[in-house]
Amino acid sequence: MLGVAAGAVVVTVAAAVAAHARYVAFEPLAHPFLTGFLAAMVAIVAVLGLMPESARRLLTQTGIGLLGLAVGAAGLVSVATEEYDPHAPAVVASGPDVRVVAWEQDVIVRQERTLRLRSRDGLLSRDGTSTVACFVHDPYAGHGLDAWTFASAAVVGNSLVAKTVDGQEWRVEFDPATLRPTTPVIDRCTGAPGYSS
């Protein structure tokens, strides 16, 4: 039983380290549901070690049933409140060393699409922490936001070239090693009509 508890602690610590290092392949391990599940497992194993044999079976069955219900309920609440989106972010462009990923988020009265870089290192791929571009996300045409709304992106060398719906090109240089911009970021969010940050 102590081996199970020790294994759960090791996995939890590894998940925290992976999340902090921003490694994409290990992000599922850093999910709060898994951490909560492992913490509950450690607690159950600890309690089982202190219980007499006759009570262990009943406690185990009850604990597993309650844990399953709790994880299911937490998942439903998370999906209902849209706190966890398994489909985000979307890859919008790729180069030999990096991918460009887009995150969509609600900011005050409109949606924004922020672009960040992701390395292409297989299992060791990591997400950059710096935004390289921000655009208004306007899923409907005709709101007069074509000059602010993201249309497409491409990676050309160490540059991200993004286009808005009106066809205008925007460029930012980046360092593929650090995944950070080396020139001013593309900002089509601040100053957009009807919104200022």
Question: H or E element: which one contains 118?
Answer: strand 110-119
Considering only CA atoms, which of 117, 124, 89, 120 is closest in space to residue 104? 89
- Residue 5: closest CA among 52, 33, 46, 48: 46
Give me the pLDDT at residue 93, please: 92
Higher pLDDT, 139 or 186: 186
Mean pLDDT, residues 75-89 taken together: 57
Q: What's residue 17's pLDDT?
A: 61
Instruction: Indicate whether 116 and 172 sit together in one domain.
Output: yes
Could you read off the pLDDT of 112-127 as tens digits, one per residue?
889 999 988 877 788 8
**What's the CA gap between 162 and 146, in Å, rounded?**
13
* pLDDT value at residue 84: 46
The boundaries of the domain holding residue 119 are 90-188
What is the rounded CA–CA span in Å between residue 139 and residue 121? 32
Does 197 reside within a domain?
Answer: no
Are residues 94 and 157 both part of a single domain?
A: yes
- Provide the edge-to-edge strand list for the sheet that holds 90-94: 90-94, 98-107, 110-119, 127-137, 186-188
The answer to whether position 194 is within a domain reads no
95 & 183 share domain = yes
pTM, whole model, 2 decimals?
0.61
Give the burial class of 166: count Cβ atoms within 10 A of its Cβ; 0-12 exposed, 13-18 middle, 19 or more buried.
exposed
